[in-house]
Amino acid sequence: MNVEPEVISDVQKRKLELAEIEKEAKDYFNKRNYNKASEVILSKIIDNEDNSEELNEREKAWYFQLAAHFLYLGDKSKSNDLQIKAASIHNGMFHPPHSSEYTKIANPGIQAANVRKNITEFSRPQDVSVYIEDILKCLQYNPDIDSDKFEDKLDILGNFLGFYSQRPEEELGDGPDVLWCMSNNLYLIMEAKSQATHDKITQENIEQILHSKEWFVEQYGDNVEYLCVTLQSPARTYDNVHPGKNTYVLDGDSLSNLKNNLRNFVGAIQNEPVNSYTTKEIAKLLRTYNLTVDLFKQKYLKNIRT
């Protein structure tokens, strides 16, 4: 008697692949690595084009909810943000209480210590490199790169660099595209114009960043230090455009320099196990590659020229 081998359909293969990713995330969760467990779901399912495009709204919302569940014991505020996102996609998900209320972010602590913690969540230094390249491939001023992916990777990058990062506009429908709170309690109010094709900064761009500044002052008051940053390729404005106080641009050259320095930073930690680096050593590397708060402002944020 001949036994025909079982043929696995494409749908079954996809379900098995998703199950493997869920198992990987659960393994991290069981090891109390809550941030990595959540990140596995976000990066390998939600942000992965091959997987995300196959998800319907309910499935995508469910994975946001799963990521929120894994993250809750590690970062309740960020977990709540993910749960709000899940509920906004599909009404059948759990709606957290006061989900319409804004959760402020504050000083995340010592940058180098945070970066060291982020690095040690990876098994190998090569995994850090793959992770950063996944971020950087979407950080392009290019109309062909989805703007939501650009903003999402900018948000993820902020957290990797040891800051506290949020996406208020995406989560609440108001505020900046991305908000970073740096380790010295400096806030970057960022509006991303990654798909813009104009050769100069427009009045509309400036009005949008000023609106986000007003939102920020309403939430945080005017006694905190902040900078308004528009992210787009040009650094000059049209003649009738007037930027405002504390308004800067992270232009095409700055973005290219930032990406190169990030690659060099990750390259510098490739020769030793990820848990072998001390906070002091990480701090030195951050300075070397212009990734500290002060050097970030100095090297990448430019005055807007007319």
* pLDDT tens-digit readout, 56-79: 878 888 899 999 999 988 888 888
Lowest mean pLDDT across 89-93, 97-101, 116-120? 97-101
Question: Smallest Cα–Cα separation from 127: which of 103, 91, 160, 85?
Answer: 160
CB 134 within 8 A of CB 48: no
Residue 86 pLDDT exceeds 60? yes
3-state SS record for 170-187: HHHCCCCCEEEECCCCCE
3-state secondary structure of 124: coil
Q: Looking at the chain, list the stretches that DSSP marks H as alpha helix, in order from N- to C-terminal side.
A: 10-30, 34-41, 49-52, 57-71, 76-89, 111-120, 125-136, 147-160, 168-172, 203-220, 252-267, 279-288, 293-300
Distance CA 246, CA 192 (A): 17
3-state secondary structure of 37: helix
**Angle 147-160/111-120 helices, nearest 10 degrees?**
110
- Banded pLDDT at 241 (limits 50, 70, 90): low
Give me the percent of the chain exceeding a pLDDT of 70: 91
pLDDT at 134: 92
Note the pLDDT tens digit of each residue in 154-185: 999 999 999 999 998 887 788 999 999 998 88
pLDDT at 242: 66
pLDDT at 205: 84
Residue 13 CB coordination number (10 Å): 10
Residue 111 CA, distance from chain mean position? 16
238 or 20: which leads in pLDDT: 20
- Banded pLDDT at 206 (limits 50, 70, 90): confident
Half-sphere exposure of 199 (CA within 13 A, CB side): 0
- Banded pLDDT at 225 (limits 50, 70, 90): very high
Distance CA 277, CA 135 (A): 23
Note the pLDDT tens digit of each residue in 113-166: 999 999 998 889 999 999 999 999 999 999 998 998 999 999 999 999 999 999
Residue 52 pLDDT exceeds 70? no
183 or 291: which leads in pLDDT: 291
Distance CA 110, CA 233 (A): 31
Residue 7 pLDDT exceeds 60? no
pLDDT at 61: 85
Q: Compute the mean pLDDT over every residue in the chain, rounded to the nearest whole number.
A: 87
pLDDT at 91: 66
pLDDT at 4: 55
Q: Is 244 left (phi over 0), alpha (psi -120 to 50) or beta?
A: left
Residue 47 pLDDT exceeds 90? no
pLDDT at 301: 95
CB 213 within 8 A of CB 173: no
Question: Smallest Cα–Cα separation from 137: which of 208, 48, 15, 66?
Answer: 48
pLDDT at 15: 79
- Write the DSSP symbol of residue 5: P
pLDDT at 5: 54
Residue 254 CA, distance from chain mean position? 18
Residue 239 pLDDT exceeds 80? no
Task: Give the position of tokens 């993910």.
Answer: 82
* Average pLDDT estimate for 217-234: 91
pLDDT at 299: 96
pLDDT at 88: 78
CB 74 within 8 A of CB 35: yes
- Banded pLDDT at 99 (limits 50, 70, 90): low
